[in-house]
């Protein structure tokens, strides 16, 4: 292929990728201020892309910044700095009154299904309220249709959240998100508070609704088994920094970041004898983030370069990006 033809092919591929990208978060920083006026850096210059029709899994241990990143993308609240583009429009630059009509396109399902619902409203009112704000001609009829789609009948729809189970409340949360027909759905640990049997039902429901409504999804979870089953790509966070982004099968078969490998090794394996000692996961020596790689205090391959220089995401294989000075082979 000539140099000119190669350039044209690359331009076409880039244009196609740009056209298929529905959401792009760039250099997102989230800081919180404690009661003692100390600043906590929850998300540090993260870049994330979401393409049409895909499910992107977002994993990491507790405190890694997963929920903070998800909420900042949904502008709940906006990130401290950086930008979030939805269909080429910077959401962080919009004023509240201009952001309100755009919010219906980026919806969120929260981790606690009961506390995320208004305790003084019935399930029907909770799902119908967004439609009223949108000026829908018959919000209650449409709300009942969507509630039926998620398995909530009229009798349950007349109840308040405290009169329903956790699984039923999560179905109502899903209906509230889907009733606005969003383009992007952010699921923040949507099944972590549910029983295993109910988890499977909710996951199947999310997959079905995703197909029916043709939307893209960010699925936040610490459960690596769930993420592997539902995600097309997986992004790994550690202390607010992106460690690795790869197609789901590739990441689980061959992790290239040491933190990703430790995460996968920590998942119980029924085929391994529990009496046989496995690889020990190093614990952090300090809660203070180092000046270089966040994982340097735990990484078995850390060098002085890791402690001094922050690694940036580098593509080691097609679609497989890793932020590590000494990636795994």
Segment 181-189 shows an average pLDDT of: 93
CA separation for the pair 297, 43 (Å, rounded): 19
In this prediction, residue 209 carries a pLDDT of 86
CA angle 56, 14, 94 (to 5 degrees): 65
**pLDDT range class, residue 237, cuts 50, 70, 90:** very high
| Other residues' Cβ atoms within 10 Å of the Cβ of residue 294 | 24
Mean pLDDT of the chain: 87
According to DSSP, the residues that pair with 292 across neighbouring strands are none
Segment 231-239 shows an average pLDDT of: 95
H helix runs in 95-241, sequence order:
96-103, 123-134, 139-149, 154-157, 166-178, 196-213, 224-230
**pLDDT range class, residue 91, cuts 50, 70, 90:** very high
- The four Cα atoms 101, 102, 106, 107 give a dihedral, to 10 degrees, of -10
Cβ 180 vs Cβ 143: under 8 Å: no
Q: Is 218 helix (H, G, I), strand (E, B) or coil?
A: strand
**pLDDT range class, residue 12, cuts 50, 70, 90:** very low
- The DSSP element (H or E) to which 219 belongs, if any, is strand 216-220
Segment 228-236 shows an average pLDDT of: 94
In this prediction, residue 9 carries a pLDDT of 38
In this prediction, residue 286 carries a pLDDT of 44
CA separation for the pair 177, 243 (Å, rounded): 30
Segment 225-235 shows an average pLDDT of: 93
In this prediction, residue 2 carries a pLDDT of 41
Segment 142-167 shows an average pLDDT of: 93
Better-predicted residue by pLDDT, 185 or 284: 185
Give residues with Cβ within 8 angstroms of 195, minimum separation 6: 167
In this prediction, residue 277 carries a pLDDT of 54
pLDDT by residue (tens digit) across 271-291? Answer: 555 555 555 544 444 444 568
Alpha-carbon distances of 57 from 82, 93, 247, 251, 288, rounded to whole Å = 21, 26, 10, 11, 27
pLDDT by residue (tens digit) across 51-63? Answer: 999 999 999 998 8
In this prediction, residue 236 carries a pLDDT of 97
Alpha-carbon distances of 22 from 25, 52, 215, 241, rounded to whole Å = 10, 6, 10, 22
**pLDDT range class, residue 270, cuts 50, 70, 90:** low
Segment 210-218 shows an average pLDDT of: 91
Q: Which of 34-43, 151-160, 214-223, 281-290 has the lowest mean pLDDT?
A: 281-290
Does residue 264 carry a pLDDT above 60? yes
């Amino acid at each position: 292929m000539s140099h000119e033809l190669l350039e044209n092919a690359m331009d076409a591929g880039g244009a196609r990728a740009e056209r298929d990208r529905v959401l792009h978060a760039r250099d997102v920083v989230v800081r919180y201020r404690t009661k003692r006026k100390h600043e906590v850096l929850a998300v540090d210059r993260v870049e994330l892309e979401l393409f049409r029709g895909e499910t992107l899994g977002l994993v990491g241990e507790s405190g890694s910044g997963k929920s903070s990143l998800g909420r900042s993308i949904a502008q709940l609240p906006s990130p401290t700095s950086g930008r979030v583009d939805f269909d080429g429009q910077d959401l962080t630059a919009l004023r509240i009154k201009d952001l309100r009509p755009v919010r219906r396109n980026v919806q969120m399902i929260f981790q606690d299904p009961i506390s995320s619902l208004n305790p003084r409203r019935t399930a029907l009112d909770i799902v119908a309220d967004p439609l009223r704000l949108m000026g829908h001609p018959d919000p209650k009829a449409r709300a009942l249709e969507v509630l039926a789609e998620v398995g909530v009948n009229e009798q349950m729809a007349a109840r308040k959240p405290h009169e329903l189970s956790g699984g039923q409340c999560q179905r109502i949360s899903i209906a509230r998100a889907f009733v606005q027909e969003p383009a992007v759905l952010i699921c923040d640990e949507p099944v972590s508070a549910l029983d295993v049997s109910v988890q499977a039902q909710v996951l199947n429901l999310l997959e079905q609704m995703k197909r029916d409504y043709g939307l893209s999804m960010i699925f936040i979870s610490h459960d690596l088994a769930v993420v592997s089953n539902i995600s097309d790509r997986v992004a790994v966070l550690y202390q607010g920094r992106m460690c690795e982004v790869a197609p789901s099968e590739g990441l689980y078969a061959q992790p290239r970041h040491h933190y990703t490998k430790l995460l996968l090794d920590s998942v119980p394996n029924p085929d391994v004898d529990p009496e046989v000692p496995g690889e020990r996961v190093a614990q952090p020596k300090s809660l203070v983030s180092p000046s270089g790689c966040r994982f340097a205090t735990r990484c078995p391959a850390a060098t002085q370069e890791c402690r001094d220089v922050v690694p940036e995401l580098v593509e080691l294989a097609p679609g497989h990006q890793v932020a590590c000075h000494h990636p795994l082979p």
